[in-house]
Structure 1
């Protein structure tokens, strides 16, 4: 595995702004040097994104007409770009060493709860800071964890982070029209499985 200088696996996690050496809102055109080093795949019928991500230990660029994603080190870092090429979502999983304050991958979700109130969003399958309970909690971050603690290990850990700016989540067509193509991509919890 070759270290890629563009991906900083120790960069701090800044909600709504940046992680892994990338800033939300940056354009895909600014990353030509990264794309030049990437394996490029296009989503088409029968394409198995989960399998491709797990088998690519370097950089994988998956694109279609509306959305595109860059994956690094088997999905340790995932960068999602909207139809305008703007980075609007960063996912971080096992192998990422940076932190949000003292919270990092592998930290207890109880530590997160000590820092801020959170709620689970069933549709996104992530925990978000609860701004209704405490309006000054950070925006632009979510914690990926099992909805309920594992009964066998008694551990409830942060499995990943979502850093996002939904203002940049714009599509050239209605979101429902692209949902079918998007469903071929691995969900956040699927990327974690098997790590």
Structure 2
């Protein structure tokens, strides 16, 4: 498995890649509209599935998002209107890592000399902090999605590699 590089790459995919070249890399896929009853299809998937989602208010302006999901979210590639890959999520079962950190690790285990954890309550995610600054392009989602003060024993379920400027 490929290592995780914040703001750049994960799972063998490069942030900023266009949807067409990514589709050539993953091969043929089936596309679905994202609906609540899609969870069973995703949980049984052993390959790539394409999802189309609308973000916005009912009857109002919206953006069209497209995601490529591998094996029930072991890898999820996200694209918006410009069709550039802006976010790569890797989940439980993915073996690549960043500084030894991978999905399935306990969140507290990533606090090392020079590294701290900051909870972003706007997005219910954790940021990795080095030299009192968050490391850009990487965040962590856990099984609780709340601060460590509220739930100190959290497990990393997803690691997000992203570049928000590409949205």
Cα distance, 1:51–1:129 mapped onto 2, change above 3 Å:
same
- 1:21 corresponds to which of 12, 35, 59: 12
Larger % of strand: which? Answer: 2
Q: In the alignment, is the contact (CA less than 8 A) between 2:16 and 2:84 conserved in 1?
A: yes
TM, length-normalised to structure 1: 0.69
Q: Which residue of 2 aligns with 1:143?
A: 140
Q: In the alignment, is the contact (CA less than 8 A) between 1:148 and 1:156 conserved in 2?
A: no
Question: How far, CA to CA, are the matches of 2:39 and 2:24 in structure 1?
Answer: 24
Across the two proteins, how many residue pairs are aligned to each other?
Answer: 154
Q: Which runs of 5+ in 1 are unaligned?
A: 1-9, 170-195
Q: Deviations over 1:11-60 (max 9, x none)?
A: 101011100000110000112324642121134xx553433322322110
Q: In the alignment, is the contact (CA less than 8 A) between 1:60 and 1:72 conserved in 2?
A: yes
Q: Which runs of 5+ in 2 are unaligned?
A: 55-63
Q: Which residue of 2 aligns with 1:120?
A: 119
Question: How far, CA to CA, are the matches of 2:158 and 2:26 in structure 1?
Answer: 24
Aligned alpha-carbon RMSD (Å)? 2.5
Which secondary structure state, in structure 2, belongs to the residue aligned with residue 159 of structure 1?
strand
Q: Which residue of 2 aligns with 1:181?
A: none
Cα distance, 1:32–1:103 mapped onto 2, change above 3 Å:
closer
Larger % of helix: which? Answer: 1
Q: Which residue of 2 aligns with 1:59?
A: 48
How far the C-alpha of 1:138 sits from its partner, in A, is 2.0
Query: Where do 1:97-136 residues align within 5 Å?
Result: 97-114=95-112, 115-130=114-129, 134-135=132-133
How far the C-alpha of 1:123 sits from its partner, in A, is 3.5
- 1:48 corresponds to which of 37, 45, 49: 37
Moved more, 16-25 or 109-118: 109-118
Q: Which residue of 2 aligns with 1:6?
A: none
How far the C-alpha of 1:122 sits from its partner, in A, is 2.7
Q: Deviations over 1:79-130 (max 9, x none)?
A: 0001111000111111100010111122221222225222222332210134
Q: Does 1:82 align with 2:73?
A: no
Question: How far, CA to CA, are the matches of 1:123 and 1:13 in structure 2?
Answer: 24
